Amino acid sequence: MEIKIVSDVKNIECDVLVAGMFEKEKTFSDFVNEYVIEKDKFEGKFGETYLIQTFGKLPARKVLVLGLGKKEELNTDKLREAVAKATKKAMSIKAEKVAFLLENIGFDYSKQFVYGTMIADYVFDKYKSEKKTTHIKEVYVAANENEVNKGIKIVSAMNFARNLANEPAQFATPAELAATACDLGLETKIYSKEECEQMGMGAFLAVGQGSTREPKFIHMKYTCNNPKKRIAIIGKGITFDSGGLDLKPASSMLTMKDDMSGAACILGVMSVIKEFNPNIEVHGLIAACENMPSGSSYKPGDILTAKNGKTIEVDNTDAEGRLTLADALCYACELKVDEVIDLATLTGACMVALGTHASGIMGNNDELVKNVIKTGKENGETYWELPMFDDYFDSLKSDIADMKNTGSRWGGASTAGKFLEKFVTPETKWAHLDIAGTAFLEKPQKEFIAGATGAGVRTLLNYIIEQ
């Protein structure tokens, strides 16, 4: 899809002209108004569409009237959803050239327009022998060129992440994630199992020891002259999660290729970061491994020692993500960065609490947490702050180690947050994003098809480039 900026959308010769219409108002064309509104009583309610042939009365062969609902109720989220719906409709009728006429919106819709069209245009059909989806080749719109170009780069990073998370675990292995990182043109270091042992990453290595695939610790670095801030972003990189010896039920394993969605997000962000050239030093970190059952697997009751020397009693081998993040957080803090943000498909408890429409967020710095929430909201990602009361750590207390890796099932997302906090130095600002419910959809939702969503990419990239 190529998005072209034009000043006069109405006179573009195209397959479909998408005309936004507010409820009870009229469109730009008397011809369209006569047939769509006066004769067929189309009201322009939000999300409704009406397709009409123009028979040569307009430069466009067809007009798709897109209901935007009540003008006073339109916001960026609704606009993005409506644009995505129109895009999918245009794809379904095999339109190749599509123009969008969006008048009197009341806010700069440029970046949200790109999000809506390009997210809707995505499909993962790499393994289909017959490719059935028809993509739109050209899109015309009157918009802010700088914001459009920014949006295009951000969605390309999202698609990069979505492609990785949609890949089967047989392809997206720890070694493949490491190779992908090395191809991004950044300063990159891949630590081997032996090197991780030398660094004392006992928690991370324990999770991966049941697999025949060697774990990889990935460190990517973007830097600039005199950066005004140094940030580390960490993504959970479990390339397949069987649950280990505490084996998941078969039905719960079906989508566990997506347990590296946090890592995919980090790779997506780092894939385009040089194009934005932010005055921020950014470290992208991934502790990549598989959690598999075998004779060499770590076991319930084992005592692990993390990089900072804290000991962990293994209560459940299916609470593995927090163990890999523990060592990654220690590593990040040793870099003496100003802020650390981690993303992880961490807890089913967060998914139960917030569903698929919002991610959980918590941390040790209120300003950082609030800024991430604000950035997400402005870019179509919702984060809900969860509490981090000290009482949540009570159920993690162990009689024989500094802590257990799981506690009570009640308040599980916050309990996991309190576990991670033990591996963050007090002087480091830290936020934890639990994307368990938002990273992978089992059915289409708003602008997304089923599958990986690239959760976190929009938020992290915009947070970094807007510093």
pLDDT of 409 above 90:
no
Return phi, psi of residue 62, to 5°.
-140, 155
Whether 430 and 302 share a structural domain: yes
Whether 53 and 176 share a structural domain: no
The answer to whether residue 148 is domain-embedded is no
Whether 47 and 186 share a structural domain: no
The total of structural domains in the chain comes to 2
The answer to whether residue 250 is domain-embedded is yes
The answer to whether residue 383 is domain-embedded is yes
The answer to whether residue 337 is domain-embedded is yes
248 flagged as catalytic: yes
> Which CATH number do you get for residue 34?
3.40.220.10
> Which CATH number do you get for residue 159?
3.40.630.10
The answer to whether residue 222 is domain-embedded is yes
> Which structural domain, as residue segments, surrounds residue 34?
2-143
Whether 114 and 184 share a structural domain: no
pLDDT band at 108 (very low <50, low <70, confident <90, very high): very high
Q: Which are the contacts of 67, defined by CB distance < 8 A and separation ≥ 6?
A: 21, 23, 42, 43, 44, 45, 46, 47, 48, 49, 82
pLDDT of 363 above 90:
yes
pLDDT-above-70 percentage for the chain: 100
The answer to whether residue 194 is domain-embedded is yes
Residue among 71, 229, 248, 377 flagged as catalytic: 248
Whether 136 and 61 share a structural domain: yes
pLDDT of 131 above 90:
no
What is the rounded radius of gyration, in angstroms, for the C-alpha atoms of the chain?
Answer: 24
- Given this model, what pLDDT does residue 134 score? 86
Whether 110 and 207 share a structural domain: no
Whether 56 and 197 share a structural domain: no
Average pLDDT over residues 278-303: 98
The answer to whether residue 86 is domain-embedded is yes
Whether 307 and 354 share a structural domain: yes
pLDDT-above-90 percentage for the chain: 98
322 flagged as catalytic: yes
- Given this model, what pLDDT does residue 154 score? 98
pLDDT of 132 above 90:
no
Residue 136: CB atoms within 10 Å: 23
Whether 331 and 235 share a structural domain: yes
Q: What is the pLDDT of residues 200-223, one digit of tens each?
A: 999 999 999 999 999 999 999 999
Whether 317 and 259 share a structural domain: yes
- Given this model, what pLDDT does residue 133 score? 80
User: Mean pLDDT for the chain?
Assistant: 97
Q: What is the pLDDT of residues 372-388, one digit of tens each?
A: 999 999 999 999 999 99
Which structure tokens are listed for 132?
Answer: 């059935």
Q: How far is CA 232 from CA 191, 212, 328, 330, 443, in A?
A: 17, 29, 10, 11, 32
Q: What is the pLDDT of residues 143-171, one digit of tens each?
A: 999 999 999 999 999 999 999 999 999 99
The answer to whether residue 410 is domain-embedded is yes
Whether 139 and 71 share a structural domain: yes
Whether 65 and 126 share a structural domain: yes
The whole-model pTM stands at 0.96
Average pLDDT over residues 328-345: 98
Average pLDDT over residues 348-354: 97
pLDDT of 83 above 90:
yes
Q: What is the 3-state secondary structure (H, E, C) of the chain?
A: CEEEECCCCCCCCCCEEEEEEECCCCCCCHHHHHHHHHHCCCCCCCCCEEEEECCCCCCCCEEEEEEEECHHHCCHHHHHHHHHHHHHHHHHCCCCEEEEECCCCCCCCHHHHHHHHHHHCCCCCCCCCCCCCCCCCEEEECCCHHHHHHHHHHHHHHHHHHHHHHCCCCCCCHHHHHHHHHCCCCEEEEECHHHHHHCCCHHHHHHHCCCCCCCEEEEEEECCCCCCCEEEEEEEEEEEECCCCCCCCHHHHCCHHHHHHHHHHHHHHHHHHHHHCCCCEEEEEEEEEEECCCCCCCCCCCEEECCCCCEEECCCCCCCHHHHHHHHHHHHHHCCCCEEEEEECCCHHHHHHHCCCCEEEEECCHHHHHHHHHHHHHCCCCEEECCCCHHHHHHHCCCCCCEECCCCCCCHHHHHHHHHHCCCCCCCEEEEEECCCCCEECCCECCECCEECCCCHHHHHHHHHCC
Among 116, 143, 170, residue at a domain's last position: 143
Among 143, 164, 190, residue at a domain's last position: 143
**CA 362, CA 387: separation in Å to the nearest integer?**
7
In this structure, the strands spanning 62-69 and 16-22 are parallel
Residue among 236, 322, 404, 458 flagged as catalytic: 322
Among 85, 114, 143, residue at a domain's last position: 143
